[in-house]
Structure 1
């Protein structure tokens, strides 16, 4: 047995090459390996480095069910070599393995990032044999032994945190013990195998319609954590199951069982998986999310938007609701400019005379809504010192779109010989060069004719498992479309490097770093209730970096009678929700009274002073992640020498809250004494203090609904 021991960026790793040249992954943790923690009765197929399945081969030994264990030829892949080099990010390990029977080889990549306990991993599989092989599953990362540190049983010490996601209910994290998931230990520990397992998947083009493609596993006994995300804008899968006396984690992109994907590899052909990230922590959840925040900044496209964080006004939420007209835009432009906004986006509806849902696709302006043309309005926007933007839904055509009626079927997803419908739209297929050329023409025209510098790209359908045209499987058609769409975005940014593109999918239903490695802004939700939005805003940095997380701030225009104090607090609450992230200002600013206009303007002014720190900050949660039943929620960001803390009171009788400040934040402030200041709406509006003995901020919350934003600095 030959061991490969690695200690890189606080990750302890052990791989082994057996006498029969099998490559094993024995350890991946924030703690060193204790060999006595490994089950000694391991079957020969245990601890595989590569989990990969080709059609037509036996998978022996285990009680599989739908679990991806003892995959073939994954379990029999033989180690050939590995390389160890450095690049601009850090250390890069590449492992080469081969299946002698089929001639299939795999190059497996582990990219480390200097000073971050995380790797990015992907594989390239090549058929070097003489017969076509059908690849139907491959895991980016397969690690057996995720529970092994500590003395307590797995039932007592393991907790998995899963980010549920849904329309207007985004970033809804829940924590589960393994017994709560129906995975109690009921066998001898050396056996520990069953037909059931925890599996979380997405099938389709809305990557986050039920869950974000990420999760966190904590060992509460030894205080270690394992976290992961799949950086893909489509189908993905991860699972935790038992095998060989241990629990394993396996994660990756699409597969046949859960997403109807397989790929026929002819001799000489290769397939590269989607990338994923896996990391460790010995501190806790906040540290894991901080590591992911830094990792996401390293893998995304470099752009000025994420450096400058300009304030965007969008006319949709609690404002024009997708029914814009030139007459209504002009006063909004004036009000947005006066408030301090820097971009102005005309949202949905600019291209249609009336109801537009099922007729979109040609993207020509409506002269009924804009009698003198959209350019007249965008010119006015520029005259006020703002950059104009428009809404676009580039992946669909409505079933009543005249152009769609004239086009051949290969422009669209097709199954069973018929175009795929969803919500009265067709799904465009970006593998088709004509589709990409059409949308290139649309975007280039918007930029050249209207002077557009911002495009909100929305996506409001789910086309399902994929397309059968020109594909081995419908899932392959889906994957190749998704890759072609990303390539199309790359082309846009190459032609228009200053263009800002927002990633919106009915809010946050495609919140993934396949998309966000390109798009600089992510819509976090379409949530219309600002009291609920605080929960989404507080949790947003788990799924997206703070500077990419767009949150609506939409002061309301009430018809009912509401006290002046309640109206003020409503504006403050709305603004605080966005001020540690990206402000998507909305609401009908032109109709607000002067006091509320002043509160919006003040918030934007304060935001401009703190945004240089937001773009390099790490998040923390003094009260833990927010839940929809929580009366009080909180979010903090910290950099060296400074921290910001938002607190929202959504309801309840409590008139104060104590917010513990973690060791990491206090270390960044580098002082036992901390000065605390309410920076919005101002010191006179909050009663708050820092208690050095309790190492906590205490805030009075006397009003029924309220929010405040604080700055923490060293008190030398």
Structure 2
């Protein structure tokens, strides 16, 4: 006999069903305030587990269709309201549900946890597996953090032959210098019609996306969108991990399925042996379902604000200058820094960051990292680097400094001072990548050493901002003191996150930037802990708009640090184009400001002034949107906007970049303002620049903009609903 129960948390209602001969399945998801009512007629187990000696009930390479997943039975469930999120920002409490399951045959027990913050209808979930067998070990090979089916609006039929074919998948390719290349594919291009129902079995294929090593977004991203415009549904799901992960979707006979996981044996050489009574918890995953793409992105934006670290900088993101990009390039000296510091203060910068090379006396900063003692040749005065840091403070700015805490250069003296156990090793040898050894944060020696470095830099120099970079990845993991290579890597990743948590507890006012060769680690495990996220190392200002516009798919707009690096030889239009690339995110500036003429200097200052007036006060509550859709890498016109959250009366801000545009007429979709009269005002650049004609079509919710063709130019507009 089937039983059901309903759990309500944070405005989300979840229905579960189970029976003596059936596993627990999620059968409904509702968000009454958003008029979302989804039924999952295709019941799938809420957790799937592969273990040595117990594989799939359908021969396949999936992380679903597992025998243990099918055999787990309901034991109990417990609700626990008023759970304090680890880093609540927009609300004080979350709701929690724990469902306990058991498989008597193997002795495996699992607790599947769901949490929902009060400010976002996005569900966070993970599984904790325990070996309840009193005699035998259990070796896990994969455990899902989430598993479920696509579903359909209540009253629709998910078994209709056309339903699966109406879904599209939006995912992204990533690489150094070309992050965030999103593309959308109809599922029928991935999964052809094969009439599998004639066999009586589900298909064996799957579309799997995998990341290895510790560059969690080095090639792909742990987030995707499923949308069905016929059904009026859109999923966003993500794996929240700063290391190896895998997500997959596929077609079952009755519906599609989604499975999200951290490292697994097949993809990452991960296994975990549980002694009797021992437990393992998966990395978190999260999902939301909305009526369309825009509402789904609003949900995940609210979720990101709900679960990130509390910090005064979150809602009022400071303007940052960093001396590296297209400027000093890792060759800082007192003589180079002092003129830049003065110029940065004059244009309104609030944080000044000394990037890499500040510690290097050899002239080759890359392999010498690790001791983190200031160079005496670069900063030769009696006070050394303190002269530069004091100059930053005297100009009213927060001093920042670059650090790469997860590596030790092969030429660093610290390489011989720390034991091998402090590093990621394989076959008794330290892993070496591009002249760096990679620290293993499972090691107490590693953590103690890096704590001493941070304490010294903060205590002696008064640094208030760290750019934490990470330019190499150790591959599959370590074989030292672990059940498997993948297990060692997972525990290292978790230990690094715990170290960051300890750092912010000791120094709660520190502003932390996450950089991994630009955007190679844009996962939510990192993003929830950092105030600033580097989006790329891209040095060509003409290419950057596609990266900058796409970045808020993975992060909050107030975190998105896309470089603007105007130079003295640039025209006014080129300078403004650069500034607009960073304008609707975290204002992130570089370039030789001290070499600019008076007019260009004033233009940069005007950009920062406009940012502080129009963007800084509202960006921490705005919702990102894409009035032309997500940009393609070669798009000749790119647009990105910030719209008010539901119920807010603030203006909508839109930046348009014309990159040798072929068509002069651009139609920007502002569906949230449809049916309302509106006033359109250019906010940057304005004085001395040719205006771009605009026309608002209230009935369509479309802003028509006339852009110049065959040239490079950009404008940012404010659209205010009357």
TM over 0.5: yes
What whole-Å deviation, never above 9, does each CA across 1:5-58 have from its counterpart, x for those lacking one? 4576775644211133632233447754568x65xxxxxxx6212211221124
Looking at structure 2, the residues matched to 191 and 529 of structure 1 have their Cα atoms a distance apart, in angstroms, of: 55
Q: 2:695 maps to which residue?
A: 689
Q: Which residue, out of 178, 186, 189, partners 1:177?
A: 186
Separation in structure 1 between the aligned mates of residue 39 and residue 443 of structure 2, nearest angstrom: 53
CA contact (8 A) 1:63 1:194 kept: no
Q: Is the 8 A contact 1:29 1:226 kept in 2?
A: no
Aligned to 1:42: none
Task: Write the mapping of 1:30-41 to structure 2, written as runs, cut at 5 A.
Answer: 32=37, 38=42
Paired with 2:539 and 2:319, the residues of 1 have a C-alpha distance of: 20
Distance 1:69 1:676 in 2: 51
Q: Tell me what 1:313 maps to.
A: 321
CA distance in 2, matches of 1:146, 1:164: 27
**Equivalent residues in 2 for 1:235-254 (5 A)?**
235-254=244-263
Measured in 2, the distance between the counterparts of 1:29 and 1:253 equals 27
Matched, 1:63 2:72: no
Look up the match of 2:239.
230
Change (3 A) 1:150 1:652: farther
1:678–1:58 Cα change, 3 Å: closer
Query: 2-side partners of 1:660 and 1:296: how far apart?
Result: 25
2:368 maps to which of 359, 370, 373: 359
Corresponding position of 2:85: none
Q: What is the aligned-residue RMSD (CA, Å)?
A: 2.0
Which secondary structure state, in structure 1, belongs to the residue aligned with residue 116 of structure 2? strand
CA displacement at 1:685 relative to structure 2: 3.7
Contact (CA 8 Å) 2:235, 2:289: kept in 1 or not? yes
CA–CA distance in structure 2, aligned partners of residues 420 and 58 of structure 1: 33
* 2:401 corresponds to which of 355, 367, 390: 390
Q: Retained in 2: the 8 A contact 1:636–1:646?
A: yes
Residues 654-665 of structure 1 correspond to what in structure 2 (within 5 A)? 654-662=663-671, 664-665=672-673
Residue pairs, 1:133-282, within 5 angstroms: 133-146=138-151, 149=158, 151=160, 153-154=162-163, 156-188=165-197, 191=200, 193-282=202-291
In the alignment, which residue of structure 1 is the partner of 2:88? none
Runs of 4+ in 1 over 6 A off after TM superposition: 7-10
CA 248–189 in structure 1, closer or farther in 2 if over 3 Å, else same: farther
Q: Helix, strand or coil: the match of 2:99? A: strand
Instruction: Give the alignment of 1:112-127 within 5 angstroms.
Output: 112-114=116-118, 116-127=120-131
C-alpha displacement of 1:73: 1.8
Unaligned runs of 5+ in 2: 83-91
1:698 aligns to 2:704 (yes or no): yes
1:403-440 C-alpha deviation (Å, 9 max, x unpaired)? 21343210111112211111111110111111111111
When residues 78 and 510 of structure 1 are mapped into structure 2, their CA distance, relative to the original with a 3 A threshold, is: same
Q: Which moved more, 1:584-593 or 1:184-193?
A: 184-193
Q: Shift of residue 470 of structure 1?
A: 1.0
Deviation at 1:673, TM superposition (A): 1.1
Corresponding residue for residue 43 of structure 1: none
Residue 539 (structure 2) pairs with residue 528 (structure 1): yes
Say whether residues 1:292 and 2:261 are aligned partners: no
The alpha carbon displacement at 1:548 in A equals 0.8
Cα contact 1:150–1:221 (8 A) shared by 2 = no
* 1:500-554 Cα deviation digits (max 9, x unpaired): 1100000000001111111111000011111211011111111100111111111
Distance apart, 1:381 and its partner CA: 0.9
> Which structure 2 residues correspond to residues 463-474 of structure 1 after superposition, within 5 A?
463-474=474-485
How far 1:638 sits from its partner (Å)?
Answer: 1.6
Task: Give the length in aligned residue pairs.
Answer: 692
User: Are 2:630 and 1:625 aligned?
Assistant: yes
In structure 2, distance between residues paired with 1:293 and 1:674: 25
CA 1:54–1:647: 2 relative to 1, 3 Å? same
The C-alpha deviation readout for 1:295-335, integer Å capped at 9, x for no partner, is 01111110112122110100011111111111010110011
The answer to whether the Cα contact below 8 Å between 1:390 and 1:456 also exists between their aligned partners in 2 is yes
Aligned to 1:614: 619
Q: 1:386 to 1:701 in 2, by over 3 A?
A: same
Q: Deviations over 1:154-175 (max 9, x none)?
A: 5630110002111111111111
Query: Conserved in 1, the CA contact under 8 Å of 2:120 and 2:306?
Result: no
Question: Does 1:72 pair with 2:67?
Answer: yes
Match of 1:337 in 2: 345
| Partner-residue secondary structure (3-state), 1:117 | coil
| Deviation of the 1:572 alpha carbon | 0.7
Partner of 1:563: none
For residue 558 of structure 2, the aligned residue among 529, 547, 564 is 547
Give the CA deviation at 1:89. 3.4
Instruction: Assess if the C-alpha contact under 8 Å between 1:149 and 1:222 holds in 2.
Output: no
Q: Which residue of 2 aligns with 1:645?
A: 654
Could you tell me whether the CA contact under 8 Å between 1:231 and 1:277 is conserved in 2?
A: yes
* Matches for 1:509-524 after TM superposition, within 5 Å: 509-524=520-535
* Matching residue of 2:20: 19
Structure 1, residues 609-641: CA drift from partner, whole Å, max 9, x if none?
221200011111111111112111111112211
Structure 2 counterpart of 1:50: 47
Is the 1:535–1:628 Cα contact (8 Å) retained in structure 2? Answer: yes
C-alpha spacing 1:59/1:689, structure 2 compared with 1 (3 Å): closer
Give the whole-Å Cα distance in 2 for the aligned partners of 1:192 and 1:362: 59
Shift in Å at residue 694 of structure 1? Answer: 3.5
1:158 and 1:219 in contact (8 A); partners too = yes
User: How far apart in 2 are the matches of 1:694 and 1:20?
Assistant: 53
CA–CA distance in structure 2, aligned partners of residues 189 and 214 of structure 1: 33
CA distance in 2 between counterparts of 1:378 and 1:257 reads 50
CA shift in 2, pair 1:693/1:153, >3 Å: closer
**Native 8 Å contact 2:38 2:151 kept in 1:** no
- The whole-number CA distance in structure 1 between the counterparts of 2:673 and 2:246 is 34
Greater alpha carbon shift after TM alignment, 401-410 vs 289-298: 401-410
Q: Secondary structure at the match of 1:188?
A: helix
Q: How many Å apart are 1:178 and its aligned residue?
A: 2.1
Deviation at 1:196, TM superposition (A): 2.5
CA distance in 2, matches of 1:472, 1:153: 46
- Equivalent-residue separation in structure 2 for 1:467 and 1:340 (angstroms): 46
CA shift for structure 1 position 3: 2.3
The corresponding residue for 2:89 is none
3-state SS of paired residue (1:540): helix
Cα offset, 1:146, TM superposition: 4.5
**Residue 714 of structure 2 corresponds to which residue in structure 1?**
707
